[in-house]
Amino acid sequence: MRPPILNIVVLISGSGSNLQAIIDAIAANQLHANIKAVISNRPGVKGLERAQAVNIPTLTLDHKQFESRETFDRQLLQEIDQYKPDLIILAGFMRILTDEFVNHFNGKMLNIHPSLLPKFRGLNTHQRALDAGVKQHGVTVHFVSNELDGGAPVLQAVIDVNENDSVESLQQRIHQQEHIIYPMVIEWAAQQRLEIINQQVYLDKQPLENPAKWINNQLIN
């Protein structure tokens, strides 16, 4: 049976490569979602062009035009609410969200972060992973909470760190994994396989004590 269509709004700040992966997954009928709008806090970014190329409504809310983080978030909240999305997808959205915003959309926001959370929250994750000498690195899809990069994790793609890896090579390999696992998790939501209750993630009605893993193109739950 075809799963119901999941209505989503995607928030971006830059090139929108994860947005493109979502668009491509929908076009390939691998993701049963409808992108109601793409909203950027930066004007003129490539992600807006990606959305416009396939006739997805776009909106630019330049955060520099707002007097405070709170006023920006309130306007963003109002814009998103117009679309009544089932899920809000943060795809390279480089803003720390206020508690008011996060609480309003509690349990309805997903983010993707380029590390194996809880390791390396924040920025410059690939350089920090190399500096720390970790043997494995990766990317995490997680629900958004009031704690920066601290929301409940759902799925992590794991890669081995090679001796000759650089920030650029790690970033490239991580991007490849991002473009696989983000549409996958959104499809779990579309199939009503994924839910979060009191910060506990459930997949197929079973609590995820640890995030599911995507390793060597295999799902390990």
Could you give the angle at which helices 167-190 and 125-132 cross, rounded to 10 degrees? 120
Q: Which of 63, 113, 126, 137 is catalytic?
A: 113
In this structure, is the dihedral angle defined by the CA atoms of residues 44, 46, 50 and 56, taken in order, positive or negative? negative
pLDDT for res 1: 53
Rounded to whole angstroms, the Cα distance separating 101 from 78 reads 10
pLDDT for 148: 87
* pLDDT at residue 221, rounded to an integer: 77
pLDDT at 4 (0 to 100): 67
pLDDT score for 38: 98
Per residue of the chain (221 residues), give pLDDT as tens. Answer: 555 699 999 999 999 999 999 999 999 999 999 999 999 999 999 999 999 999 999 999 999 999 999 999 999 999 999 999 999 999 999 999 999 999 999 999 999 999 999 999 999 999 999 999 999 999 999 999 999 889 999 999 999 999 999 999 999 999 999 999 999 999 999 999 999 998 899 999 999 999 999 999 999 97
Distance CA(79)–CA(74), nearest Å, equals 9
Sequence-ordered list of residues with C-beta below 8 angstroms from that of 55, at least 6 positions apart, any chain:
none
Is 63 known to be catalytic? no
List of domains in the chain: 6-216 (3.40.50.170)
Q: What is the pLDDT of residue 10?
A: 98
Structure-token pair, residue 194 = 């994924």
Q: Note whether 194 and 186 are within 8 A (CB).
A: no
